[in-house]
Amino acid sequence: MAEQKGRTEIAELGEFGLIDELTKNFKSACKSTIVGIGDDAAVIEASKDTAIVLSSDTMLEGIDFDLTYFPPKHLGYKAVTKGISDIAAMNAKAEQITLSLGISSKISVEVLRDFYAGVEFACREAEVDLVGGDTTASMTGFVINITAVGRAKKDRIVRRSGAKPNDLICLTGNLGAAFMGLRLLEREKRVLAGTDQQPRFEGYEYLLERYLKPRARYDIVESLGEEKLVPTSMIDLTDGLASDVLQICKASHCGARIYLERIPFAKQTSALAEEMHIDPVVAALNGGEDYELLFTVPLAERERIVNIGCIDIIGHITAENTGAYLVTPDGGEIRLKAQGFKESEER
Residues 127-146 that bind a copy of itself (CB under 8 A): 127-141, 143, 145
> Which positions ≥6 away from 77 have C-beta within 8 Å?
118, 119, 121, 122, 213
The whole-angstrom separation of Cα 103 and Cα 142 is 5
Which of 156/316 has CB closer to a copy of itself?
156
Complex with a copy of itself: residue 214 or 315, whichever CB lies closer: 214
Closest approach, Cβ 255 to a copy of itself, in A, equals: 26
What's the gap between Cα 87 and its chain centre? 11
206 makes contact with a copy of itself (CB under 8 A): no
- Which CA distances in Å does 277 have to 127, 271, 273, 282? 41, 10, 6, 11
Stretch that binds a copy of itself, among 12-20, 222-230, 246-254, 299-307 (CB under 8 A): 12-20
Query: By CB under 8 A, what part of segment 216-255 binds a copy of itself?
Result: none
Nearest distance, CB of residue 17 and a copy of itself, angstroms:
10
Say if CB 115 and CB 75 are below 8 A apart: yes
- Kindly identify the residues of this chain, within the stretch 32-61, that bind a copy of itself according to CB under 8 A: 32-33, 35-37, 39, 41-42, 44, 46-48, 50, 52, 54-61
CB-nearer residue toward a copy of itself: 86 or 301: 86
Rounded Cα distance, 215 and 204, in Å: 17
Q: Which of helix, strand or coil describes residue 309? A: coil
Least distance to a copy of itself, CB of residue 182, Å: 14
In this complex, which beta carbon is closest to a copy of itself, that of residue 95 or of residue 301? 95
Shortest reach from residue 250's CB to a copy of itself, in Å: 16
Contact between 193 and a copy of itself per CB under 8 A: no
Is the distance from CB of 259 to CB of 167 less than 8 angstroms?
no
Selected from 209, 219, 320, 345, the binder of a copy of itself by CB under 8 A is: 345
Question: What phi-psi label fits residue 91: left (phi over 0), alpha (psi between -120 and 50 degrees) or beta?
Answer: left
Using the rule CB under 8 A, give the single segment among 116-124, 213-221, 260-268, 287-295 that binds a copy of itself. 116-124
- Between 148 and 258, CB nearer to a copy of itself: 148
Gyration radius from the chain CA atoms: 20
β-sheet bridge partners, residue 171: 294, 312
Q: Does 123 bind a copy of itself (CB under 8 A)?
A: yes
Beta 129-132 vs 93-103: how paired, if at all? parallel
Measured from the CB of residue 80, what is the shortest distance to a copy of itself in angstroms?
Answer: 12
Handedness of CA 39, 133, 179, 231 (dihedral sign): positive
Find the shortest distance in angstroms from Cβ 77 to a copy of itself: 14
Strand partners for 255: 318
Measured from the CB atom, the residue of 174 and 247 that comes closer to a copy of itself is 247
